[in-house]
Structure 1
Amino acid sequence: MISWRKHYKTLLISVGLLLSASASVHAQDGDPVNGEKLFKANCTACHALDKQIVGPALGGIVAKVKAEQNLGPDWLHKWIKDNKALRASGDKYANEIFLKFNKTEMLQFPNLTDKDIDDILAYTTNPPAAPAADATAANGAAGADANSVAALEAAKNSAATSKIILTSLVVIAGLLLWLLLKLRQLVKIQQSQELTDLESSKAFSFAETYEKYRYVGTGLLTVLAIFAAYGVWNWLMWVGVYKGYKPEQPIYFSHRIHAGVNKIDCQLCHSSAKYGKVSEIPSLNVCMNCHKMIPEYKGKYIEPGKDRDFYTGEIKKLYEHVGWDSDKMSYTGKTSPVQWTRIHNMPDFVYFNHAQHVVAGEKAIIKSFNEKHPNDKIDVVCKACHGKIDTMNVVQMANDFTMGWCIECHRTTEIDMTNGYNKVYFKNLHEKLKKQYGSGAKITVSAIGGIECGKCHY
């Protein structure tokens, strides 16, 4: 009896150490690499390893629960699989957590096996080192996007044309200035009462030279005038055309990261593009649907000249505008609008309906574009007009958006006369066109009024 009491304290310490060691071993039995995949698939919407998001930080959670509540991984298994049932059983710690996080109920994961949960706990206990940046992404970032290259070539061509025009105008201005100076000299000579021998020879020499080369000079001036007139006309034709325009925005937003790397569908943000007349600029609450749980950038893709801290800083700007306190996970009520710079903006006198093109013309537009560009095919109708947005770090105007550009599309895009709407609505027109042009005739948008003035201007 005395011996038992003597070693009682030592025995308790040994049992505690054994339980602690067993909890650690139990967590380490899992596969942290597979646990990382499971964690990202099931947990990252509400949890991070190093900070509280919706739920608590889960880094070292096994040791933390053991130290604070003397609970092992078995309790975590119960909590993860069905925390609601665990709370209903009267579990004190489960109910304390529920109250601490404002009665925000965690999802149940009965689909996760014990091995899956062990893997997740192993990841939270000993997360694998972050891999180096994806070489493919880095290489992709280093190379210029196809749209950027095209825009650069267009800008070079435009610059070359501008230089030719400017040179022609300078030459014309120089010749005119020379003629004015000579005429001024003649006027002064004529105003003199007497002509010196030198002045007389100068006047005679100029008059003789002018008479001799009059037709050559007139021809040269005519050619230069034609070039100048063409330059002015060409300049006027490109007024309001901003192909390649990509302004700096108040908050940096990379479509390549969102739509390209993360495969976010265009309509998740531009929800009215499919069924509305215009494709609105998304409100900031749309951004917060995701970034409420993503306070910092941890992606592999990084543009040249930037780092993860740059992207995280832009997320912080978003938080400032919407009034979001990421530490308290609550809104402060202090908001301010973002002054976005609009890139695609149709003139007021032009009627354009997104729904008509995205819904009714989706298949026809994609088919027509891919036939014209077999080496640069698209899979989403948006890209036919806006370019490959999913490859753009900074969005730019990929096309001219002139009336001629639209009409050319209407003249060459074949409509689908077999779909339910066109088959019924254009039944008589279809039969008339078949008689006029033959049964195999290509019926384009222009055949159904696509180039009538009143379709776009009324």
Structure 2
Amino acid sequence: MISWRKHYKQTLIAIGLLLSTSASIYGQDGDPKNGEKLFKANCTACHALDKQVIGPPLKGVVERVKTEGGVDKDWLHKWIKDNKALRASGDKYANEIFEKFNKTEMLQFPNLTDKDIDDILAFTTNPPAPEPEPTATTAPAGEATAAPADKTTTSIVIISLIAIAGLLVWILIKLRQLVKLGQSEELVGLNETRVRSFSEIYEKYHYIGKGLLTILAILAAYGVWNWIMWIGVYKGYKPEQPIYFSHKIHAGENKIDCQLCHSSAKYGKVSEIPSMNVCMNCHRTISEYNGKYIEPGKDKAFYDGEIQKIYAATGWNAEKQQYTGKTQPVEWTRIHNMPDFVYFNHSQHVVAGEQAIINSFNKKNPNNKIDVVCKACHGKIDTMNVVQMANDFTMGWCIECHRTTEVDMNNGYNKEYFKNLHEKLKKQYPKDGGKITVDAIGGLECGKCHY
């Protein structure tokens, strides 16, 4: 009995040691899949696995610090949680790394638990196999076979047209033969008395001729006038740019706010073309395209090549993570270009008129509503791979907007500033409830847009 109890206790101790050892091993090794999520959330702004970004590549970092500095995972835990404190303690290897990377201070991550850090290190040691990359958007199966079908249809149409043309020629020849056979001496005499010149025809039917000429003159004048009125209107214009920039990827897929790049649209008259430094705010650490969306006809290599054009323009050396000082100007082609005699202030529309414009547009387009004021004029830019002029941008187009857009009277400034005008319009237009549109507050005055 005593022997059994003794062996029982030894068995429990062995099982306990085995479980604790397993737990210890798991805690040290970590979970690479969870580590991948934590790595993407906390580390990718400055690090990549296989190349230097702002900081060094992190693949195999556990083995590397052991070889270079003779330190272990515990040191990495201290470095990740508070590298500043570790350097302040006089740690030699920590200060060597700080000097090596131009004294660029790493962020502290006290919020990460030991388990989180173990998971991240497990991911850097043994990253899981990447999931298959989504292929470029392809046409549906029905469309894939459309090309051969179209060729067959085209051939049938061409053959049919040739057959019809041949039939018509044959009919004309036969008719001519019949006419010659049927002509009598009387018909010959009549043909000699028929009108043979345009002047004779005009003399006979001059009233009809004058009427037709008048109609033709009116149509020609209208055509010239219509052509003149559309000079400078380039709706649908979408030029090729020196660097391919997809608004669908940036504003659509990645939800980047318009004003992050076009910051002066809110605070200035002109919405400027962003400088290349604005691009580098993100692309300093994004050297290749890993998004899910790929435009038909494009591939990952194409997007990576366009990013390299940004680096060439700014003189950025991705390997050394520093600027070379050799820059190249980018000659963008301007799309929206108002004439010099037209005054248009972006900030006035983006700030003061934001809600009023959105409400007016959505009221007129219930099936095509917008959520950002920019889309009222520039169209749904977040769906465009290549930006184009979405509207006419003519004087009549602007006037129509001013006549139909109701001023936002819930705005505290408008409510106070136009208080008397609002009361006056309520009496003047009782059926409309005294609604104030932009034209009622001077939106049609010439001097507002032409100065």
Give TM-score scaled by structure 2 length: 0.78
In 2, distance between residues paired with 1:25 and 1:348? 72
Asked if structure 2 preserves the Cα contact closer than 8 Å seen for 1:53 and 1:329, the reply is yes
Within 5 A, what are the aligned runs for 1:346-425? 346-425=338-417
Deviations 1:5-59 (A, max 9, x none): xxxxxxxxxxxxxxxxx9x966883232222222122111111111101110011
- Given that 2:406 and 2:437 are in contact with CA atoms closer than 8 Å, whether structure 1 keeps it comes out as yes
Partner SS state of residue 229, structure 1: helix
**1:373, CA displacement in angstroms?**
0.9
Superposed counterparts of 1:416-435, under 5 Å: 416-435=408-427
The alpha-carbon deviation at position 210 of structure 1 amounts to: 3.0
* Deviation (angstroms), 1:127: 2.2
The answer to whether the 8 A contact 1:351-1:457 is kept is: yes
In structure 2, the residue matched to 1:115 is 115
**Which stretches in structure 1 are left out of the alignment for 5+ residues?**
1-21, 143-199
Shift of the 38–278 alpha-carbon distance from structure 1 to 2, 3 Å rule, reads same
Matches within 5 A, 1:26-175: 29-134=29-134, 138=137
Task: Give the whole-Å Cα distance in 1 for the aligned partners of 2:402 and 2:233.
Answer: 19
Corresponding position of 1:164 = none
Cα pair distance change 1:229/1:82, threshold 3 Å: same
1:452 and 2:445 matched: yes
Q: Any residues of structure 2 matched to 1:428-443 within 5 Å, and which?
A: 428-438=420-430, 440-443=433-436
**Structure 1 residues 221 and 126: CA distance shift in structure 2, 3 A:** farther
Amino acid at match of 2:448: K
User: Unpaired segments of 5 or more residues in structure 2?
Assistant: 1-21, 142-191
**1:210 equivalent in structure 2:** 202
Query: Which amino acid counterpart does residue 349 of structure 2 have in structure 1?
Result: H
- Work out the CA distance in 1 between the residues paired with 2:332 and 2:272: 12
Instruction: Answer yes or no: is the 8 Å Cα contact 1:277–1:353 preserved in 2.
Output: yes
The whole-number CA distance in structure 2 between the counterparts of 1:38 and 1:225 is: 76
Give the residue type in structure 1 aligned to 2:389: M
Secondary structure class of the residue paired with 2:266: coil
Q: 1:324 aligns with which of 310, 316, 319?
A: 316
> Is 1:280 the equivalent of 2:280?
no
* Residues 340/141 of structure 1: CA separation in 2 closer, same or farther (3 Å cut): farther
1:223, distance to aligned residue in structure 2 (A)? 3.4
Matched to 2:34, the amino acid is N
In structure 2, the CA distance between the partners of 1:320 and 1:207, relative to structure 1 (3 Å rule), is closer
Deviations, residues 351-394 of structure 1 (Å, cap 9, x unaligned): 11111111101111111111111111111111111111111111
Structure 2 CA distance for aligned equivalents of residues 226 and 109 of structure 1 = 78
Q: Secondary structure at the match of 1:365?
A: helix
Distance 1:282 1:231 in 2: 41
Q: Which moved more, 1:46-55 or 1:124-133?
A: 124-133
In the alignment, the residues of structure 1 paired with residue 121 and residue 139 of structure 2 have an alpha-carbon distance, to the nearest angstrom, of: 35
**Alpha-carbon deviation of 1:115?**
1.8
1:334 corresponds to 2:326: yes
SS of the residue corresponding to residue 321 of structure 1 reads: helix
Letter in 1 for 2:83: N
Distance in structure 2 (CA, Å) of the matches to 1:26 and 1:383: 52
* Structure 1 stretch displaced more, 364-373 or 211-220: 211-220
* Preserved CA contact (<8 Å) 2:358 2:372: yes
In 1: Cα distance, 2:246 partner to 2:140 partner: 12
Matched, 1:249 2:241: yes
> Is structure 2 residue 237 aligned with structure 1 residue 238?
no
* 1:290 alignment partner, SS class: helix
* Bigger shift: residues 403-412 or 206-215: 206-215
Distance in 2, Cα, partners of 1:452 & 1:258? 38
Query: Letter of the aligned partner of 2:419 in structure 1?
Result: K
Aligned residue for 2:163? none
Q: CA-to-partner distance for each residue in 1:65-86, whole Å, 9 max, x for gaps? A: 2333343322211111111111
Question: Any conservation in 1 of the 2:425–2:435 contact (CA below 8 Å)?
Answer: no
Aligned equivalents of 1:202, 1:28: Cα separation in 2:
111
- Give aligned pairs, total: 381
Please state whether the residue corresponding to 1:374 is helix, strand or coil.
coil
**In the alignment, residue 380 of structure 2 is paired with which amino acid?**
K
Question: 1: distance between equivalents of 2:239 and 2:447?
Answer: 33
Pick closer, same or farther for the CA change 1:141–1:303 going to 2, 3 Å. farther
Aligned to 1:150: none
Partner of 2:178: none
Q: 1:301 to 1:28 in 2, by over 3 A?
A: farther
The residue number in structure 2 matching 1:166 is: none
